[in-house]
Amino acid sequence: MAWLLLPLQDAPPGLALFNPSVVQYGGSYYAATRSLEKKQIGEIEWWLSGAHLCKADGNQPSFKGSSCSLFDPWKDRNLRYRDCIKPPLEPGEKKPKKQRDAKGIEDPKLFVWPGKGVYATYNRKPHIKDPKRPLCDKFGFVQYMSTVVYDGEPPGREDPWHLQAPVQLSAGQFSKDIYKKDSRYVKEKNWMPFIHEGELFFTHSIMPHRVFKVNVTGIAVQQWVSVARELLPDEFLQAPKSHMHGGPPVVLVGSSASGTGKPYYLGVMHYWDMPRMPGARAYHHYAYQMEAQPPFRICAVSKELPLRRYDSTIHAGVKANMWTRDINFVSGLQLVDDNKTVHMSYGAFDTDARMLSMTLTDLESHFVEDFDCSRSRVVKVGAGRGKPGKEAAAGQRGAAAADGSREHVRQ
């Protein structure tokens, strides 16, 4: 087991790159990262996020001296994107001690689609077409997906999954199962992609465990919902549902690599709390094993993963402050070396890009119980028509490609 500090070049200088999502592909390592700058403008503290893509050639995830560039699928295509503005407080709503709003791409995550290439998912606030109507509607954040490296069909043979512009992900007609009618400022984050039999799926939530199959327009066309309360640790279950989240992309462990001889999907989930003081979040991560076919139930959960926490004797010189020193956030997951090694890339303290590297055997030893899908209960299975549901359509207001001419979420 090894803890690595990824020496990612600051881009621009002085702005830390953190929350890395690292994948190996085609003889190179790629890392998608986030930067964050905070600016006080009037009464609002603005969190200005940026996404960056770094590349290192070779068979080791050493990014020393590697090049990092801004990752913005809209600017790359000369498209203009206007992030919506958080709506004002409603009458009677309690005013927070500090008002915050956000702008830009947050937490890009990379995954490999065998036979096609490297893709990224990320979240940002919905695009506003009409500058005279700048306020966010129902949704405060939405998820997008882009092609990063494509090696699929040769030129002249069109592959609809060779995405030419960002595609917005949507729960579609399953929105009514997820969002309450009076929901306000919904934040869609941490959709966890995985490939099953050559098609794209996402784990949308952990509690309940909701899995979507999506079409090329980004809309969910089928869902499987299950509950695995008996498998989740007590401390996880004690957290509010709003504190339970997924994390990096999900990866397939084949039967030849699996310790049980059975194939499964490997994922990482987390919850957060504030045990030290109000406002200072601490994140707790757990690996889980999901069955390798529908209904995609969770079948085993690990004990808390050993991500290194802040230690002044180890992290001397780290710019962690009192609010962020308990933050670890897993953004990347991949199996390498013929599925023998697990690379788990994560951000630490909102300043560092780190990686936990271990053998698959070592990771499997962290699971506290045997692989048993019967302890997860299926509560819903359904198919949709591949169109946005009323809740999603009302909240997104056409937030797709920002050129106003080609929309990838059909309204």
For the chain, give the mean pLDDT. 87
Residues 217-245, mean pLDDT to the nearest whole number: 93
Place of tokens 């997860």: 376
pLDDT at site 317: 54
* Nearest-angstrom CA–CA distance, 262 and 292: 9
Grade residue 379 by pLDDT with cuts at 50, 70 and 90: very high
* Nearest-angstrom CA–CA distance, 147 and 241: 32
Distances (CA, A) of 371 to 105, 173, 231, 288, 368: 37, 33, 10, 10, 10
Q: Which of 246, 263, 251 is nearest to 209 (CA)?
A: 246
Residues 323-332, mean pLDDT to the nearest whole number: 88
| Domain residue spans of the chain | 2-383
Grade residue 152 by pLDDT with cuts at 50, 70 and 90: confident
Place of tokens 């070049």: 9
Q: Which CATH class is domain 2-383?
A: mainly beta
User: Could you tell me which residues come within 8 angstroms of residue 304 by beta carbon, excluding any fewer than 6 positions away?
Assistant: 233, 284, 285, 286
* 3-state SS assignment for residue 82: coil
pTM for this prediction: 0.90
pLDDT at site 399: 36
Residues 163-183, mean pLDDT to the nearest whole number: 90
With 90 as the cut, is the pLDDT of residue 405 above it?
Answer: no
Which tens digits make up the pLDDT trace of 119-149?
999 999 999 989 899 999 888 999 999 999 9
Q: Which of 147, 363, 120, 121 is nearest to 264 (CA)?
A: 363
